[in-house]
Amino acid sequence: MAVTEETLASHTGSGSVEVFSTPNLVLLMEEAAMDALRPFLEPGETSVGTLVNIRHLAPTPPGMIVTATARLSQVDGRRLVFQVEAGDGIDRVGEGTHERCVVLTERFILRSREKSTRKNTSSVE
């Protein structure tokens, strides 16, 4: 991912400095895990992110490229755990774990739509 104005912490609202933002680092790591998993999904399956636990280790200024890799480290049924890391060619920018769950796409979408028809009785403050 190219570090552009749109990917800076100052632009995404995750900070005030002009360096690669943590939300974009998380996105890049999730994309690496999805790319690693995609060839193994059956037709009608997709994966959804369920946990992200990363450390943002070093700043990356505009104009650089950040790359991420994901290595499958654990399988527990449909739950998959990936070791993820990212670098900018000079520093290790981030590292951690990312969990994804394999789901049936249509069933997942139906469940989500069904939720919108229920009355929200909880409040988050």
Whether 56 is catalytic: yes
Within a 10 A sphere around the Cβ of 41, how many other Cβ atoms? Answer: 14
Whether 125 is catalytic: no
- Nearest to 76, CA basis, from 54, 50, 53: 50
Whether 60 is catalytic: no
Q: Which of 11, 12, 18, 22 is catalytic?
A: 22
Q: Which of 7, 56, 85, 99 is catalytic?
A: 56
Q: Which of 7, 30, 85, 99 is catalytic?
A: 30
Q: Active-site positions?
A: 22, 30, 56
